[in-house]
Amino acid sequence: MVEQVPDGSAPLVEKIFRDFAQRIETRELAPGARLPSVRQLSAQLGVSVFTVVNAYDRLVATGRVNSRRGAGFFVASHQPEQLLPSRRGDRELPDSALELFTQAVNHDLYKMAPGSGYLPTKWGEDAIAPATWAKVARRPESMRASPPQGMSALRDQLAIRCRQNGIDTKGDDIVTTYGGAHAFELICTSVLCPGDVVFVEDPGFFLLPVQIQQHGMQIVGVPRLADGPDVDRLEELAAKHRPRAFFTQTLLHNPVGGSTSATKCHRILSLAERFDFLVVEDDVYGEFAENRTARLAQMDSFHRVVYVGSFSKVLAPGIRVGFAILPASLKAAFVRKKILSVIGTSSLVELVVAETLATGQLRHHVDALRERIGKARSQAIRALEGAGIEIADKNIEGFFLWGKMPDELDVGDLVRRAHAMGILLAHGGLFSPSGGCQSYLRFSAPSSIDPRLLEFLSDSIRRARTPALRLVNNAY
Amino acid sequence: MVEQVPDGSAPLVEKIFRDFAQRIETRELAPGARLPSVRQLSAQLGVSVFTVVNAYDRLVATGRVNSRRGAGFFVASHQPEQLLPSRRGDRELPDSALELFTQAVNHDLYKMAPGSGYLPTKWGEDAIAPATWAKVARRPESMRASPPQGMSALRDQLAIRCRQNGIDTKGDDIVTTYGGAHAFELICTSVLCPGDVVFVEDPGFFLLPVQIQQHGMQIVGVPRLADGPDVDRLEELAAKHRPRAFFTQTLLHNPVGGSTSATKCHRILSLAERFDFLVVEDDVYGEFAENRTARLAQMDSFHRVVYVGSFSKVLAPGIRVGFAILPASLKAAFVRKKILSVIGTSSLVELVVAETLATGQLRHHVDALRERIGKARSQAIRALEGAGIEIADKNIEGFFLWGKMPDELDVGDLVRRAHAMGILLAHGGLFSPSGGCQSYLRFSAPSSIDPRLLEFLSDSIRRARTPALRLVNNAY
């Protein structure tokens, strides 16, 4: 629907495309099912081979179908999500990863957002002094086009910060981006190839699998435990699938909360060596770590690790500054894709972030945030446990809590009812590329202590546990 | 080289990939040449079909080879450029589009940059009052994540500005981006499909063909004349190639300077209707138009036109704010790709741009710029003509001048010698996807009146016209 040239008579290509899209959507064609061969279908429909090829190309381009050359076309195991219209006032139910995201950034739709992935806006208000913006805007270079790798003032500051975390790097190794997801995008387009098998964590950051799959890569989930990925399973899966890359969040994992142990870090890198894959280390929450922690980039020194950082969580989501450090052989292609997709990043915004690093403003802000988060986490753990929710791992850092709901409770239904009441909940299923985690919710600690939320949750759990009351839930 | 997993033994895939990449680079395999079939090569080399397929996929992914399903693999007619290392102090010769761009944004490399695509930095210094940044940064929403379509305050202002230009739109129709090139990228990934034939202007914005080709689309150039595209040729080419889209710059064309006549606008839209293609209207210079002008978006009302605007030229290149308005059926997919590639745009920067629009600051700035540009243009035309350069079209607006050099002059050599002297020239050949325009240079008017530049140019022309002196040029 969205791919066609608007207006005019829908050509045959469009018809075939729509027909298959619908059959896939309704599961008449199940994930993994093989489509008829091009020649077979062209003969059957009496249309040209090119018409069929074009229709199949669109199915591939929209993520509905994978093409394995020599073998044919197969229904993709993860189907693309439909994007929810984002008009204000709408309040449709987020039942896919993209929808959850769209809802979460439409701030006015919810009274409460314990399912949001961001810290409360108020917590970021003093992150950057307004005067800093004016000061930096007075510098002529803030208005110039940025160099392809990003502003060197920022890259030099980032290198200092990385070295403080034990990561051996320098400004010239760093490439800035519009946040972490933009770095992942450039990795997908410059390092990975369509058809590559890519490992992600299960559960993990919910947009990542969708982002990788849209480029024609195949996703395999590696179970994520409290102390890092299940490395035995990683070994089995690597031997079986020979992945090109493994995306992993070492510190303060989203959604499970825990950090990967140093032992597991070592094991992951050994497996990467043995099975010849890249490790993409997503470190967007690492600044919030209080304990002495290890990072993969620190151990590997950029032989196999691509390191990704961002200021969306530690400064503010409205900033959009992130960065990547890649093995030397991959940098030029990454920069090339940066130029050819966005030309460059914002000189002014990068200079402002550099300023918050250089003056220590960022450090103070993060220290204060860390303390606030710690308090909120203790409070939220108590509150959610009091409501009857089991917190999967309490010995964690950061602001996410991974809550296991009682088995008797239909969590999908709970999310729907919450939504109708103006409460955004993040269903665990959205974080699992294999469709697991259905009885989990991800809570953002600072937004999970409102008495109305807790009452709603405890009430729902109580009803679910009392068979006679179960029907009452449905009447909500 | 850049695509491989670093380190470890180079696998067979890599070997085959490199071997073909080299044979293509050395033109042993010429553009258009057919590669051996997968089965043929796998038999010949004694490797598996999958190894060959993987190697071919990398050749396709890196833009070296096109795949036409059913027909085989063919050497692409436009080969990917190598990215120049961007270390300060380097001053290698820009002999490709990407290199020209990289050089142009490395400000310290050149004493003079008449080949730059930007206005002088000083001209943008008062575009936004520094206090505006501080004022906007005080608003909580400037630090929040932006909604997927971009900040509504900016979109509403953009809609007003568009309506003033006769374009019938509203804020909800608009999607913001990180500048014009980012909008093109999202069009490539959400609207177009690999294999599509896409028309661009010849000559035209030099990064665009590279950007489109990297996604597997095939480029065909439509000759650009002073009063717009050659519409007769457009008709012939459309009948022959059945393009999916035509990218065109209606107003103040880069590099030729002229604007498309209203009559030609009408004809382009009629051809788009007849041959069922989209028109992507690049309007990043339109604000500088003094005369009453027509835009395609104005005539079409978003049936077939995608309209792209940007503030990189009218405010400052360090800003990175642009936008697109698409036919309704294409909007959701475009927004989806925006989320899945960059998550969102910068709330703060968008609110600042909205502020410059709302307060009239932008209007005043553009009015002043327009006057300055007009004066610089007259001066530069006189100066360049005085040096012996023929300005292709003098009855133009904007700051680009398209200069025809005498036939006797080796323009490539001139560009090399200028480069060695610290002068950035933009060779016409870089703007022509067909490799034409070799005797042209694009001049930025405000940067083309330095006496040292003019002396260098007139001297080179004089020598070229005096056979006895021609050798002297080579001795420079």
Which B-chain residues 371-400 have CB contacts (< 8 A) with chain A?
none
Q: Is residue A257's pLDDT more than 60?
A: yes
Q: Using the beta-carbon criterion (under 8 Å), do A319 and B135 form an inter-chain contact?
A: no
Q: Give CATH for domain A97-124+364-474.
A: 3.90.1150.10
Structure tokens that stand for B161 in this block: 């500005």
Listed as ranges, residues in chain B with pLDDT below 50 are 1-10, 81-95, 473-476
Q: Which of A250-254, A420-424, B170-174 has the lowest mean pLDDT?
A: A420-424
| pLDDT computed for residue A471 by the predictor | 53
Beta-carbon-side half-sphere exposure of residue A217 (alpha carbons within 13 Å):
32
Q: How far apart are CA B449 and CA B455, in angstroms?
A: 10
Residue A99 pLDDT class (50, 70, 90 cuts) = confident
| pLDDT computed for residue B442 by the predictor | 97
Q: Is residue A472's pLDDT more than 60?
A: no
pLDDT digits (tens, 9 = 90+) for A379-414: 999 999 999 999 988 988 999 999 999 999 999 999
| pLDDT computed for residue B67 by the predictor | 82
Which chain A residues are Cβ-neighbours of B330 within 8 angstroms? 2, 6
Q: Using the beta-carbon criterion (under 8 Å), do A6 and B304 form an inter-chain contact?
A: yes
Residue A89 sits at the chain B interface (C-beta within 8 Å): no
Is there a contact between B71 and A40 (Cβ–Cβ < 8 Å)?
A: no
| pLDDT computed for residue B94 by the predictor | 43
Which chain A residues are Cβ-neighbours of B6 within 8 angstroms? 278, 303-304, 327-330
Q: Give CATH for domain A130-360.
A: 3.40.640.10
Coil, strand or helix at A446: helix
Is there a contact between A257 and A393 (Cβ–Cβ < 8 Å)?
A: yes
Q: Using the beta-carbon criterion (under 8 Å), do B342 and A7 form an inter-chain contact?
A: no
The residue of chain A nearest to residue B130, with distances taken between CA atoms, is: A134
Closest among A347, A352, A357 to A141, alpha carbons compared = A347
Which residue in this structure is represented by tokens 């005498």? B406
Residue A140 sits at the chain B interface (C-beta within 8 Å): yes
Average pLDDT in the A77-97 region?
45
H helices within B242-327, ranges in order?
Answer: 262-275, 296-300
Is there a contact between B72 and B34 (Cβ–Cβ < 8 Å)?
A: yes
| pLDDT computed for residue B12 by the predictor | 78
Q: Using the beta-carbon criterion (under 8 Å), do B85 and A191 form an inter-chain contact?
A: no
| pLDDT computed for residue A8 by the predictor | 31
Which chain B residues are Cβ-neighbours of A272 within 8 angstroms? none
Looking at the DSSP assignment, which residues form a beta bridge with residue B74? B34, B66
> What is the percentage of chain A residues whose pLDDT exceeds 90?
64
The residue ranking higher by pLDDT, A67 or B360, is B360
What number is the ipTM of this complex?
A: 0.80
| Fold for the domain defined by A12-75 | Arc Repressor Mutant, subunit A (1.10.10)
Average pLDDT in the A423-445 region?
93
Which chain B residues are Cβ-neighbours of A61 within 8 angstroms? 193-194
Closest among A402, A419, A473 to A100, alpha carbons compared = A419
| pLDDT computed for residue B52 by the predictor | 87
Closest among A318, A312, A146 to B319, alpha carbons compared = A146
For chain B, what are the domain ranges? 12-75, 97-124+364-474, 130-359
Dump the DSSP string for A11-30. Answer: PHHHHHHHHHHHHHHTTSS-
Whole-number mean pLDDT of chain A?
88
pTM: 0.81
Q: How far apart are CA B327 and CA B116, in angstroms?
A: 33
| pLDDT computed for residue A94 by the predictor | 43
Closest among A425, A399, A250 to A313, alpha carbons compared = A399
Residue A54 sits at the chain B interface (C-beta within 8 Å): yes
| pLDDT computed for residue B50 by the predictor | 79
Looking at the DSSP assignment, which residues form a beta bridge with residue A201? A222
| pLDDT computed for residue B48 by the predictor | 83
The residue ranking higher by pLDDT, A452 or A51, is A452
What kind of architecture, by CATH, is found in domain B130-359? 3-Layer(aba) Sandwich (3.40)
| pLDDT computed for residue A407 by the predictor | 93
Domains B12-75 and B130-359 share a fold: no
pLDDT digits (tens, 9 = 90+) for A295-318: 999 999 899 999 999 999 999 998
Residue A107 pLDDT class (50, 70, 90 cuts) = low
Q: How far apart are CA B308 and CA B187, in angstroms?
A: 10
pLDDT digits (tens, 9 = 90+) for A206-244: 999 999 988 889 999 999 999 999 999 999 999 999 999
